[in-house]
Amino acid sequence: MRIGIYGGSFNPVHNGHIHLARAAADEFSLDRVYLVPSRISPHRSMSEYVSGEERLAMLRLACRCDERLSVSDFELSTDRVSYTVYTVEHFREKYPDAELFLLVGSDMLMCFESWYNYRDILAETNLCVVSRYDGDRGELEKMAEKLSEYGRVFISRSEPLELSSTEIRKKIAKNENYACYLDENVVQYIRSKGLYHAASVIPSEQ
């Protein structure tokens, strides 16, 4: 069995996230891809997060489009920082005989050496990179070659879909049109809950 692991803030989940997951599933013949929302990301400010439960709900709505996509609440259910190595260990215990694939965007590959215990991650998984921007393949290949000393690194050939959760949140806050960037069910959820307006955003998840 070939299992993909795709972590992130998903704040909110947008079409670029789903594109990455589906492209990786197609290209690397993955049986299932787990999208894992983080509780406390070591890479991002918590100042604009909505609750973990709301991000989890939006992910479940977005993943209805493809039966290969599932959602894991592992990181939300723990009290510690969402370091990826812990998530990899969790899936290794859950699927001891599976081949694991860690899915990341191109921006995450470029800072991968700063990740906590990144060599242990590469020892346990295949690192699969899906580009998020046009024209970055050359630098991705250089970083992949550097990291290949510690494990297998693959760069997807799928076309990038350039979207940003930050920009989508700004559009929502300004009452600008954002529906084309998200699954229609996620759009309805955001509207029904009044998410991403100043009064709805919580400072952290303690």
| Sign, CA torsion 105/108/113/116 | negative
Computed over its alpha carbons, how large is the radius of gyration of the chain?
Answer: 16
Structural domain contains residue 108: yes
CB atoms within 10 A of CB 18: 23
pLDDT score for 205: 35
Distance in angstroms (rounded) separating the CA atoms of residues 181 and 12: 10
Distance in angstroms (rounded) separating the CA atoms of residues 98 and 105: 22
Distance in angstroms (rounded) separating the CA atoms of residues 27 and 131: 13
Q: Which tokens hold the place of 184?
A: 């229609």
Phi, psi (rounded to 5 degrees) for 180: -70, -15
Q: Count of domains in the chain? A: 1
What CATH number should be reported for the domain holding residue 87? 3.40.50.620
pLDDT score for 206: 27
Compute the half-sphere exposure of residue 177: CA atoms within 13 Å on the CB side of its CA. Answer: 1
Residue 67 identity:
E
Q: Is the pTM of this model over 0.95?
A: no
Q: Which tokens hold the place of 104?
A: 């990341």
pLDDT score for 159: 80
pLDDT score for 202: 41
pLDDT score for 7: 95
Structural domain contains residue 24: yes
CB atoms within 10 A of CB 152: 13
Structural domain contains residue 27: yes
Task: Tell me which residue range forms the domain holding 183.
Answer: 2-200
Structural domain contains residue 192: yes
Is residue 2 left, alpha or beta, with left meaning phi > 0 and alpha meaning psi from -120 to 50?
beta
Structural domain contains residue 188: yes
pLDDT score for 137: 81
Give the residues of the chain that fall short of pLDDT 50: 46, 199-206
Per-residue exposure over 48-82, b if at least 16 CB sit within 10 Å of its own CB, e if not: bbbebebbbbbbbbbbeeeebbbbbebbbeeeeeb
pLDDT score for 46: 47
pLDDT score for 160: 73
Is residue 91 left, alpha or beta, with left meaning phi > 0 and alpha meaning psi from -120 to 50?
alpha
Distance in angstroms (rounded) separating the CA atoms of residues 181 and 16: 8
Distance in angstroms (rounded) separating the CA atoms of residues 181 and 38: 21
Structural domain contains residue 206: no
